Chain A
Amino acid sequence: MASIRELHQQLVSKERSCTEVTEAALAQIQQLEPKLHSFLAVTAEQALEQARQVDAQIAAGQPIGPLAGIPIGIKDNLCTQGIPTTCASRILQNFIPSYESTVTQKLQNAGAVMVGKTNLDEFAMGSSTENSAYQVTANPWDIERVPGGSSGGSAAAVAAGECVVALGSDTGGSIRLPASFCGVVGLKPTYGLVSRYGLVAFASSLDQIGPLAQSVEDAAILLGAIAGYDPQDSTSLNVAIPDYTQSLIPDIKGKRIGVIQETFGEGLDPVVEKTVQEAIQQLKDLGAEIKEVSCPRFRYGLPTYYIIAPSEASANLARYDGVKYGFRAEADNLLAMYKQTRSQGFGAEVKRRIMIGTYTLSAGYYDAYYLKAQKVRTLIKQDFEQAFEQVDVLVSPTAPTTAFKAGEKTTDPLTMYLSDLMTVPVNLAGLPSLSLPCGFDPQGLPIGLQMISNVLCEGILLQVAYAYEQATPWHKHSPQV
């Protein structure tokens, strides 16, 4: 699929109509969905209506913005007014939001064409999209393998050209991990940069919405469209939003790049290690100054995350009680109704995390688990702060391995959690981070390079990523589904 900039040119020069672009995306979806299962719902009718409006604007000689007429996929944990929003959960199977999330409203206002709602791990809890109550999404590079999670539907859809860009959400790596597994760019912005009004909450101190795209430029354009202060989200940062496309300069001479030592070693696939080391050499060849940096508490990120996130989730998911919306199991008293609704409505992983969180917050265990984790979170944050005194950008592998086979890690939850080893510390510190393709393993599966920058330094992150991307061929490869 063409880039946002190319499509915009085609639209304004009237080489193609927005209806034609939308129809092409819908045709691709129709052709690939029997294999991929990226979308929980395809919103063809609304998409074509939005396309007609953009076409009318162009015909009337009105100027259109860069995202007008661009087919986009939306993760199904973002509320879309009048369009079912399921979070890939049975408990929300009949839920039709009565309001629109801020990000999707902004995209609608920008003329972007939503083609559908993408699959995810139920309530964004998972690393493979296998926890969806409805369908398992396939990795476009090998349909026997998972796309990563939890934004697996968005990543697979972008990789396979079912849409140009997509929105995901990232609580512990849910944008970057699927981006790595599917060979696309995935960006988790600074905590608070993008409004979460209308994002179904998982872990509120960690959740952030961000773009998945085929290129750094597309990611930068989409980020610019969704970022910004929103009084509807009390964690929203009131900061000026720069034009991120101005950061797309293919020159990183003298930029200081730190390699997180703790991310290389035990548990890291040797092919991933070699490929990421080559990428670091490439950054050096481009003129960056490479430094070895230590974040000694990095490895404690995973246990810390798997205390904090389920704790917050157990509180956030208490609202699903079968009273006002969603699924209800009938029972003859209220307590039984609550219990049966939740037991039948939630899947195994969601229940497991509610159980972990309820336990770690319960009387007698709160100090030992939740409070302790919050203190370790401070240490992890300090490690990053010290690192950013020395460097502009940190790099690491995005994931310890390439995409694994469906079913391979579903029996042992802890094995699945280990996929998030490299990504979760970033969320604990609230930092911006992206994953971009940096090569392939011998089986042809994409490998992701993770880049991290300091709070609100999305610009330098995009600059380094763009320079690397322009100097390497990886983004030009597409999967043959």
Chain B
Amino acid sequence: MIIDADQVRKVAHLARLEITDTEAAQLTTQLTGILEYFEQLRELDVSDIAPTARAIDVSNITRPDELHPYPHPETFLVGAPNPEGDFFKVPQIINTQDVEP
């Protein structure tokens, strides 16, 4: 196996996804199939080849660092899941217990 269920759970944690045991099993099978499909790239020798990040590169695009006040800041807060005043409210960040698995 290229990837096992433990690795799948680790990747899910990195991606901030919660997966059930059933999903972990299913994803292990599916990702194995997909990663095996990627194996064909081994047929190509790319040792002297430079990587392409963008097909058509436009680099060093800058703009003046100027402040443009947005006229309707309230529109951002209207759609927020839990706004309070001018803030986005989130659940407690620092916990007394270790929340990391």
Say yes or no: is A95 at the interface (Cβ < 8 Å to chain B).
yes
Q: Say yes or no: is B41 at the interface (Cβ < 8 Å to chain A).
A: yes
Do B44 and A300 touch (CB < 8 A)? yes
Contacts of A355 in B (CB 8 A): 8, 11-12, 15, 17, 27, 31
Q: Is A187 an interface residue (CB 8 A)?
A: no
A237 & B38 in contact (Cβ 8 Å cutoff): no
- CB of A157 closer than 8 Å to a CB of B: no
Q: How far is the CA of A330 from the CA of B79 in the complex (A)?
A: 16
Say yes or no for A351: interface residue by CB 8 A criterion.
Answer: yes
A79-116 contact mask (Cβ, 8 Å, vs B): 1 or 0: 00000000000000011101000000000000000000
A96 with B46, Cβ < 8 A, contacts A337-B90, A339-B16, A354-B17 known: no
Is A325 a contact partner of B79 (Cβ separation < 8 A)?
A: yes
Q: Is the CB of A354 within 8 A of B99?
A: no
Q: A98–B82 contact, CB under 8 A?
A: no
Contact B44 A297 (CB under 8 A): yes
In the complex, the chain B residue whose C-beta lies closest to that of A456 is: B56
> Contact at A369–B19, with CB atoms within 8 Å?
no
B90's partner among A323, A339, A376, A431 (CB-CB below 8 A) is A323
Which residues of B67-101 are within 8 A (CB) of A? 70, 72, 75-76, 78-82, 88, 90-93, 95, 99-100
Say how far B13's CB is from chain A's closest CB, in angstroms.
8
Complex Cα spacing A333 to B63, Å = 38
Most buried by A among B19, B51, B52, B90: B52
Say yes or no: is A145 at the interface (Cβ < 8 Å to chain B): no
Residue contact B52 to A374, C-beta cutoff 8 Å = yes
Select one of B7, B63, B72 contacting A231, CB under 8 A: B63
Query: Given A343-B17, A354-B17, does the pair A234, B58 have CB atoms closer than 8 Å?
Result: yes
- Does any Cβ of B come within 8 Å of A277's Cβ? no
Q: Which of B15, B19, B38, B82 is in CB contact (< 8 Å) with A307?
A: B38
Which residue of the partner chain, among A306, A328, A376, contacts B44 with CB atoms under 8 Å?
Answer: A376
The listed residue (B54, B63, B88, B92) touching A235 by CB distance below 8 A is B54
- Tell me whether A372 is interfacial, beta carbon within 8 Å: yes
Task: Report B16 CB to chain A, min CB distance, Å.
Answer: 5
* CB neighbours of B30 from chain A (8 A): 352, 413-414
Using known A-B contacts A323-B90, A331-B91, A355-B31, determine if residue A375 contacts B51 with beta carbons closer than 8 Å.
yes
- The smallest beta-carbon distance between B65 and chain A, in angstroms, is 14
Which size bracket describes the interface of B in this complex?
A: 35 or more
Q: Does B1 contact A (CB under 8 A)?
A: no
Residues of chain A in range 407-451 having any CB-CB distance to chain B below 8 Å = 412-414, 417, 427-431
Tell me whether A372 and B46 are in contact in the complex, defined as CB-CB below 8 angstroms, given that A190-B56, A333-B95, A355-B12 are known contacts: yes
**B15 close to A96 (CB less than 8 A):** no
Interface size class of A (residues with CB under 8 A): 35 or more
Complex Cα–Cα for A265 and B80 (A): 52
Chain A contacts with B in 372-394, Cβ cutoff 8 A: 372-379, 381
Count contacts between A and B, CB distance < 8 Å: 169
Contact B52–A339 (Cβ < 8 Å): no
A371 touches B14 (CB 8 A): no
CB-CB under 8 A from B81, the residues of chain A are 322-328
Determine the chain A residues whose CB is within 8 A of the CB of B91 once the complex forms.
330-334, 336-337
* B interface majority secondary structure: loop
| A306 CA to B58 CA, complexed, in Å | 24
Of A6-14, A23-31, A118-126, A356-364, the one with at least 4 CB within 8 A of chain B: A356-364
> Cβ of A340 < 8 Å from any Cβ of B?
yes
Interface centre among B8, B17, B27, B44 (most CB of A within 10 A): B17
Determine whether the beta carbon of A340 is less than 8 Å from that of B18: yes
The CA of A95 and the CA of B33, in the complex, are separated in Å by 35
C-alpha gap A270/B24 in the complex (Å): 39
Partner of A428, one of B27, B55, B76: B55
B90 cross-chain contacts in A, Cβ below 8 A: 323, 334, 337
How distant is B71 from chain A, measured CB to nearest CB, in Å?
A: 10
- Minimum CB–CB distance for B23 against chain A, Å: 8
Q: Which residues of B contact A96 (CB under 8 A)?
A: 75, 78-79
Closest to B62 in A: A234
Contact with A379, one of B15, B37, B46 (Cβ below 8 angstroms): B46
CB atoms of A430 and B55 under 8 A apart: yes
Show 12 A/B contacts (Cβ-Cβ < 8 Å), sorted by A: A94-B79, A190-B56, A306-B34, A324-B81, A330-B91, A331-B91, A333-B91, A340-B18, A352-B30, A417-B34, A428-B52, A430-B56
Given A318-B16, A325-B79, A412-B33, 7 more A-B residue pairs with CB atoms under 8 Å apart are A98-B76, A192-B58, A304-B41, A336-B91, A358-B15, A375-B51, A381-B55
- Which 5 pairs show the lowest CB-CB distances between chains A and B? A430-B55, A374-B51, A328-B81, A375-B46, A98-B75
Q: Which residues of B contact A (CB under 8 A)?
A: 3, 7-8, 11-12, 14-19, 27, 30-31, 33-35, 37-38, 40-41, 44, 46, 49-56, 58, 61, 63, 70, 72, 75-76, 78-82, 88, 90-93, 95, 99-100
Q: Which residues of A contact B (CB under 8 A)?
A: 94-96, 98, 190-192, 205, 231, 234-237, 297, 300, 303-304, 306-307, 314, 318, 321-328, 330-340, 342-343, 346, 351-352, 354-356, 358-359, 362, 369, 371-379, 381, 412-414, 417, 427-431, 455
